[in-house]
Each structure stands twice: as structure tokens, then as C-alpha cells.
């Protein structure tokens, strides 16, 4: 490796042929490559009935000559009876099997007519009971969506409209007219290889290379050192001149500001700034507060308690959850303790009103004048408690729930994610604490850290940016389900927890009753 060069060149090595980036690509909120099916048997029967009625125009006889069909088709067109027009066009097409050119003309004319109709007329056609009409409407909707939606809808056309006449000539032509997908041949990666970001950059680089070796390796990778901000623009220009189809990076916000004026839609920035100049993929793009709100609402929670230290990071996340929960018309109680020299038992006791219970006990003892057997009675009005702190402190908090005999479910955030995915220790003190984390935590394969997972996904996003721009999702990415919101990549994390033996497992979806029952089955039973 030439140390005087500003970049490191990684040529393709044909060691594997694993299509790692075709799998896991899905439309947001859908199952990848799964056609939409009728929702019920009634709908299936309705589709069948429509097909059985195919070829029956209004007041039409059972059989027609070609001349009669042409006359009926022209009459329907003149009267604006487009449902009958499509039916007669289909019958005319079927009667012209020996004339392929005429069939293609019929398909083209029907397509031209459909594209000229107003939304109001198309809406009336939705009520047609003719299968031919519904097939043509399905074709029209297919090519009105994004490129990714077109691919999904084409599969549905092949599954449910396989008998439609447009399959012979028109559909292949429409598909051929679609712009070809851009081939990515070379990716430039801009990372600071020295200084305070060196360790993070090395992990990101390692993740990118692991993703590369898991791909078909048809792309050339070049790594450029962007430690010096003064040389950033020249390094960027060099990468483009040397053939980069895509760019991953830079990492630092200052570096992104330097390149914002280039407005490069082929650049995937690894941080966020206030700019629309390129796609941005921040390591903290998950919006965890919104994911927590959804989980808590699904569980039927109404009132939650939030514990957080007063450090900047914890407070930002705690406030975000408090605001999001209140905006959803629920109640939240936020209790803050010092990040330096915290008294964790007092922090939890303050949230659950242990001090009020002690105060009542002291008053009774003073009134009676005798020593009382006492165990604090804590508040029972919280459906869940969310703690924003590290795993070490969470391991101190969690056993106190057993001590106070609290049935309240406990949650944490991604800060509880283990540092080394390959060596996750047992932790019985985090028993049944559910927290948001990255999918790679539960299934790391050969990834070691969250920044390696981030590097892997940056390669994945860069090679599929057009699919994301057209509404697709990367459903099996390492840092979460990835989608594009404006010019920002969003992550949907997964929920994990430590079981009774202290092993990290995926947290199943549970309702409020199940969550409470699970907390009662503690290690002290």
C-alpha cells in the first residue's frame, strides 16, 4: 500500500458470488417481492365473477363479426362509454389473432385513450364489473408510480392479470421504455484516517469492506484520506476525476459543510447538516422516541416515568420522548439525576415516591410514639419506566425494581447496545430490560461493532440509493430497516432484552398485560 497516495485502492477480488444486496430490498411497510392478494374469499369470488363476465358489452349479443366489433368500438368511443370501448377492443383483438400488427395497434390505441381520460372518468371506470377494464386500470396505475413501485406492480400484473391482451405487445414496449438502472462501477470512500476520528473511521472502513466482500464484488472501492479539511475539495475532485460513480462520506460535519456547494446527488454523507445538497446518513438516524411511542401505545400504556442523568445526550433523548409522548395525549413524568456522582437509589426512589412513603411512616411513628415495621409503599400509577443511561448504571437500577416489588416494565435505549457484538457477556442484572438496538446486535455474522454495521449499511445504501429514492426500503440492513425521508436515511431499530439467564435475545411483541406479567417473574421468585 502506497502511503504517499491520498487514497487506498481496493480492486475487485472474485472470491464470493453472494448477491447480498438484492435480498432485503422492499417497499416500505410491505413484504419484499410478495404480490398483493385479494383480502378475502369474497374478493376472490368477485375477481372470478368479473372474469366470467368478460367480453359482455352493454346490450351486446353473444357473438360478433370483426366489422360489427369495429362499429361497436367506434360508437363506444364517440359516446365516451370507455368501459364498453375497452371490452370491444379486447374482443376485436381476440378476433384478429392472425394479424399481430393490428393487435399491437389495438393495444396502443387503448393505452392512448386511457392516458387521455380525466381522473373523474377513471374513477367511474373503477366501478366496472368487466375484468378487461380492471386489467387496463391496473396497467395504468402500474406506470404512474415510482420506479420501485413499477417493479412491484409488474409482479402483480403477471400474477393477477396474466390473460390481459396488453401482455403480448404493449407491456414489453412500456417496460423497454423505462430508463435503465444506473450501474455502479466505482465507489470513493472519504474518511479521516488520522486524528480523533481515526478509530471510528477504521471501523466504518472495515464494515464497508466486509459488505464489499459479501457482494458480487463487481464494484471498485477507493479509500481517500480526508483528515485535512484544507485538502478536502481537491480530494473530492480527484475522486470524481478518477471515475467515482458514488461517494461515501465525508464523516465530519465541518467536512460536509465544505462540500455542500457541490450539490452532488451521488454522495452519501455520513452525518447530518442543514442542507439538501446530498443524501445524508447519520449514525443516529433512528428517531427512537417515535419508535418508543409506537411500542407503548401498542401495549396500551397511558402514563410513563422517565429517568435520565443530566448529561447532554441523555437529556436530549429523554426530552424527545417526553415531548413525543405528551403530543400523543399521554402523561409522562421526567425525573433527572446528576451524571457526576449520581445516587441511583435515590433517583429511582424519587420517581416512585419512596420519600413520600417514608414521610408518612415517620409521621405515624411520631403520632403513635412507637417503632413501626416498615416497607415503603411506592406509586403504582406508571405503566412503564424508561431509563436513559449506560448498561453499568442500568444494572444497578434493575435489581432495585425487585427490591421495591415493582411490576412496572423497564425500557432503555440503544446506549445499552453491547460494544462488541462477538463477545456479548451474560448480564442477569439487566433481566427483562427491553431496549432499542441494531439488528446486527442479535445477528452480527462477522461484524464486531455498531460502527462496522454502520459502514456495512453505508455501502448498501450507496449501491441502492435509487431504489430508496423511489420508495423502497432496505429491510435486512445491519443498523435497522432503512428508508429515505426527504434527503435523510431513517432507521427502524429492533427491540432486544436480556432473559432470566442473562442472555441477549429479541424482545417479542407483547401487550400491556403480558409485559406486566413478565416482570413479576423475577429472579427473586
Task: Determine the pLDDT at residue 150.
Answer: 77
- One DSSP character per residue, 273-307 reads -S--SSEE--TT-S-HHHHHHHHHHHTT--EEEEE
Task: Determine the pLDDT at residue 41.
Answer: 39
Task: Determine the pLDDT at residue 254.
Answer: 95
H-type helices in 352-474, by residue range? Answer: 354-368, 391-403, 439-442, 450-463, 465-469
pLDDT of the chain along its 525 residues, tens only? 433 344 444 443 333 323 334 445 665 654 333 333 333 334 433 433 433 344 444 444 457 888 889 999 999 999 999 999 999 999 999 998 888 999 999 999 999 999 999 999 999 999 999 999 999 999 999 888 666 577 778 888 888 888 999 999 999 999 888 877 778 899 999 999 999 999 999 999 999 999 999 998 999 999 999 999 999 999 999 999 999 999 999 999 999 999 999 999 899 999 999 988 899 999 887 789 999 999 999 999 999 999 999 999 999 999 999 999 999 999 999 999 999 988 887 787 777 655 544 454 444 455 555 554 544 554 467 899 999 999 999 888 877 776 666 778 899 999 999 999 999 999 988 988 999 999 999 999 999 999 999 999 999 999 998 888 877 889 989 999 999 988 899 999 999 999 989 999 999 765 444 554 544 444 433
**Strand partners for 504:** 498
Task: Determine the pLDDT at residue 431.
Answer: 86
How far apart are alpha carbons 279 and 272 in whole angstroms?
9
* 242: exposed, middle or buried (Cβ count in 10 Å: 0-12, 13-18, 19+): middle
Query: Cell numbers at residue 233, please?
Result: 475539495
Task: Determine the pLDDT at residue 326.
Answer: 96
Which residue do the cell numbers 473530492 mark? 236
Task: Determine the pLDDT at residue 46.
Answer: 42
Task: Determine the pLDDT at residue 368.
Answer: 58
Which helix (H) or strand (E) segment holds residue 147: the answer is helix 147-160
Task: Determine the pLDDT at residue 398.
Answer: 76
Contact status, residue 252 vs residue 191, Cβ threshold 8 Å: no
Collapsed DSSP state (helix, strand, coil) of residue 333? strand
Contact status, residue 493 vs residue 414, Cβ threshold 8 Å: yes
Amino acid at each position: 500500500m502506497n502511503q504517499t497516495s491520498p487514497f487506498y485502492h481496493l480492486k475487485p477480488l472474485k472470491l464470493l458470488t453472494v448477491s447480498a444486496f438484492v435480498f432485503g430490498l422492499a417497499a416500505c411497510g410491505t413484504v419484499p417481492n410478495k404480490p398483493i392478494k385479494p383480502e378475502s374469499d369474497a374478493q376472490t369470488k368477485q375477481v372470478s365473477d368479473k372474469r366470467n363476465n368478460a367480453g359482455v358489452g352493454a346490450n351486446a349479443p353473444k357473438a360478433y363479426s370483426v366489422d360489427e366489433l369495429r362499429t361497436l368500438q367506434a360508437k363506444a368511443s364517440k359516446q365516451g362509454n370507455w368501459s364498453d370501448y375497452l371490452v370491444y377492443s379486447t374482443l376485436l383483438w381476440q378476433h384478429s389473432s392472425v394479424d399481430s400488427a393490428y393487435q399491437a395497434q389495438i393495444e396502443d390505441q387503448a393505452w392512448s385513450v386511457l392516458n387521455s381520460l380525466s381522473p373523474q372518468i377513471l374513477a367511474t371506470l373503477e366501478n366496472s364489473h368487466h375484468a378487461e377494464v380492471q386489467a387496463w386500470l391496473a396497467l395504468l396505475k402500474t406506470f404512474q408510480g415510482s420506479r420501485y413501485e413499477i417493479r412491484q406492480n409488474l409482479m402483480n400484473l403477471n400474477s393477477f392479470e396474466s390473460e390481459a391482451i396488453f401482455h403480448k405487445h404493449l407491456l414489453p414496449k412500456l417496460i423497454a421504455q423505462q430508463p435503465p438502472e444506473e450501474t455502479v462501477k466505482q465507489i470513493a470512500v472519504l474518511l479521516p484516517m488520522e486524528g480523533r476520528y481515526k478509530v471510528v473511521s477504521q471501523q466504518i472502513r472495515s464494515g464497508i469492506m466486509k459488505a464489499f466482500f459479501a457482494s458480487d464484488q463487481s464494484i471498485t472501492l477507493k479509500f481517500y484520506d480526508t483528515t485535512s479539511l484544507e485538502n478536502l475539495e481537491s480530494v473530492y475532485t480527484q475522486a470524481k476525476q478518477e471515475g467515482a460513480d458514488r461517494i461515501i462520506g465525508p464523516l465530519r460535519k465541518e467536512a460536509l459543510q465544505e462540500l455542500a456547494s457541490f450539490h452532488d446527488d451521488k454522495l452519501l454523507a455520513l452525518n447530518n447538516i442543514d442542507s439538501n445538497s446530498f443524501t445524508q446518513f447519520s449514525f443516529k438516524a433512528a428517531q427512537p422516541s417515535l419508535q418508543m411511542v409506537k411500542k407503548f401505545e401498542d401495549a396500551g400504556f397511558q402514563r410513563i416515568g422517565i429517568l435520565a442523568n443530566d448529561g447532554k445526550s441523555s437529556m436530549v433523548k429523554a426530552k424527545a420522548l417526553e415531548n413525543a409522548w405528551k403530543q400523543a395525549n399521554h402523561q409522562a413524568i421526567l425525573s433527572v439525576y446528576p451524571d457526576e456522582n449520581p445516587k441511583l437509589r435515590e433517583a429511582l426512589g424519587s420517581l416512585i415516591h419512596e420519600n413520600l412513603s417514608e414521610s408518612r411512616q415517620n409521621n405515624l411513628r411520631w403520632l403513635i410514639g412507637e417503632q413501626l415495621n416498615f416497607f415503603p409503599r411506592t406509586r403504582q400509577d406508571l405503566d412503564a419506566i424508561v431509563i436513559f443511561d449506560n448498561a453499568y448504571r442500568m444494572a444497578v437500577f434493575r435489581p432495585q425494581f425487585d427490591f421495591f416489588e415493582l411490576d412496572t416494565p423497564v425500557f432503555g435505549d440503544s446506549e445499552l447496545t453491547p460494544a462488541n457484538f462477538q463477545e456479548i457477556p451474560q448480564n442477569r442484572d439487566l433481566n427483562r430490560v427491553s431496549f432499542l438496538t441494531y439488528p446486527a446486535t442479535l445477528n452480527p455474522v462477522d461484524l464486531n461493532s455498531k460502527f462496522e454495521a454502520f459502514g456495512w449499511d453505508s455501502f448498501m445504501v450507496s449501491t441502492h440509493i435509487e431504489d430508496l429514492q423511489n420508495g423502497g426500503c432496505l429491510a435486512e440492513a445491519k443498523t435497522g430497516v432503512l428508508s429515505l425521508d426527504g434527503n435523510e436515511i431513517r432507521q427502524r431499530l429492533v427491540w432486544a432484552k436480556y432473559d432470566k439467564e442473562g442472555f441477549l435475545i429479541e424482545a417479542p411483541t407483547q401487550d400491556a398485560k403480558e409485559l406486566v406479567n413478565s416482570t413479576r417473574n423475577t429472579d427473586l421468585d
